[in-house]
Amino acid sequence: MRFAARLLIGFALAASSAALAQGYPNKSIKVIVPWPPGQATDAAARIATEKMGAQMGQQFVIDNRPGAGGTIGSEHAARATPDGYTILAGSSGPISISPRVQKVPYDPEKDFEPICIIASSTYVLVANPTVPAKDYAEFVAFLKANPGKYTFASSGTGATAHLVAEYFNSSVGITASHVPYKGSAPAVTDLIAGHVTYAFETTASVLGHIKAGRLKAFAVSSPTRSVIVPELPTIMEVGQVPDFDVRAWIGLIGPTGIPREARGRLANECQKAVQAPEVKEKLLAAGLEPDSLPLDEIAPYLRKVGERFGAIARQAKIRLD
């Protein structure tokens, strides 16, 4: 009898899983974006989920909940019912960096389960055109010959751009003063005006200025050349820094406990969407590089990214508390 009971329970569980796999999703899926409309995470999420919705026959509804560097919306997603119908558009800032530089009301590893990577954002080393350097080597030599004399901008203390610059400075032996701004736009404006010397900024935020000659570009922060600015070398190529790979990531994650079948379906559909030519084209137009990883490799990757940002923050003594 016990064997028969166990057999019946096993059949019931299998039938339930199969029903979920076949029936999910049977209503719209909310995607919490912890940033305002138009921001990079918002753009990537809209591009990817629009395609996913067409593939899955259900609408993905974007719910923008900005504030506190993305931590407000991220907390809301962490506390959501883990039924597969509320997910988060996650990114480096609130998931990989904020928990390492300040107290946040969620644990990125315990409260979330990764679903997919959509895109990555490479950072470009740019400087005011008056800087007397024609390439990366001359730029580094110029700064090293003038320790503490020049400044670098970022979109804010503890922001990805800040950490990339700090890592660069320490890796190549540069001493410069940090000037934080409230966002990339004012930082780039002052960089063009010559109020600060250099910065690491996303390709999307500086590409037009580079093409127009308003900024000099020397290298990128990714391990391989960017498909958006392939003419620029990587710091690993020209900087003799063997492991310089500092990029921002954007993807979808769900609250811990999301049904395995729902998570698997979302992951498969997301990977399929990111491989679609029209999605790649839209991401590139937004200054984002299409990216993806197998589901079982995402958590280790995000852990590695978080550890790297944490190490950079500790070395630079960056805390926001």
204-224 per-position pLDDT tens digit = 899 999 999 999 999 999 999
10-residue averages of pLDDT along the chain (321 residues): 40 42 87 94 97 98 94 97 98 96 96 98 96 97 97 93 95 96 92 98 92 97 94 92 91 98 98 98 94 96 95 92 76
Same domain, 254 and 117: yes
78-100 per-position pLDDT tens digit = 999 999 999 999 999 999 999 99
Please identify, among 183, 209, 238, the residue that sits at the C-terminal boundary of a domain. Answer: 238
- Could you tell me the CATH number of the domain that includes residue 95? 3.40.190.150
Same domain, 48 and 128: no
Same domain, 200 and 251: no
223-270 per-position pLDDT tens digit = 999 999 999 999 999 987 888 999 999 999 999 999 999 999 999 999
Q: What residues contact residue 202 under an 8 Å CB cut-off, 6+ apart? A: 40, 121, 122, 123, 124, 161, 184, 248, 287
Give pLDDT, residue 154: 95
User: H or E element: which one contains 198?
Assistant: strand 198-202
What angle is formed at CA 301 by the lines to CA 59 and CA 251, rounded to 5 degrees? 20
The answer as to whether 3 is a domain residue is no
* Distance (Å, whole) CA 321 – CA 272: 40
User: H or E element: which one contains 70?
Assistant: none
The answer as to whether 37 is a domain residue is yes
Same domain, 278 and 301: yes
Residue 4, judged by CB atoms within 10 A of its CB (0-12, 13-18, 19+), counts as exposed
* Distance (Å, whole) CA 75 – CA 54: 28
Please identify, among 212, 238, 264, the residue that sits at the C-terminal boundary of a domain. Answer: 238
Closest CA to 292 of 306, 279, 311: 279
Same domain, 66 and 103: yes
Please identify, among 205, 238, 271, the residue that sits at the C-terminal boundary of a domain. Answer: 238
The answer as to whether 150 is a domain residue is yes
Same domain, 110 and 257: yes
- Which range of residues forms the domain containing residue 30? 19-121+247-315
The answer as to whether 6 is a domain residue is no
Give 208-254 as a DSSP string. Answer: HHHHTTSSEEEEESSSS--SSSTTSPBHHHHS--TT----EEEEEEE
The answer as to whether 143 is a domain residue is yes
The token pair at 219 is 């290298």
Can you tell me whether residue 270 is helix, strand or coil?
A: helix
What is the pLDDT of the chain when averaged over all its residues?
92
The answer as to whether 95 is a domain residue is yes
Same domain, 169 and 90: no
Instruction: Tell me the whole-structure pTM to 2 decimals.
Output: 0.86
Same domain, 157 and 117: no
The answer as to whether 9 is a domain residue is no
Q: What residues contact residue 199 under an 8 Å CB cut-off, 6+ apart? A: 125, 126, 127, 152, 153, 154, 161, 165, 187, 188, 191
The answer as to whether 320 is a domain residue is no
Same domain, 255 and 305: yes
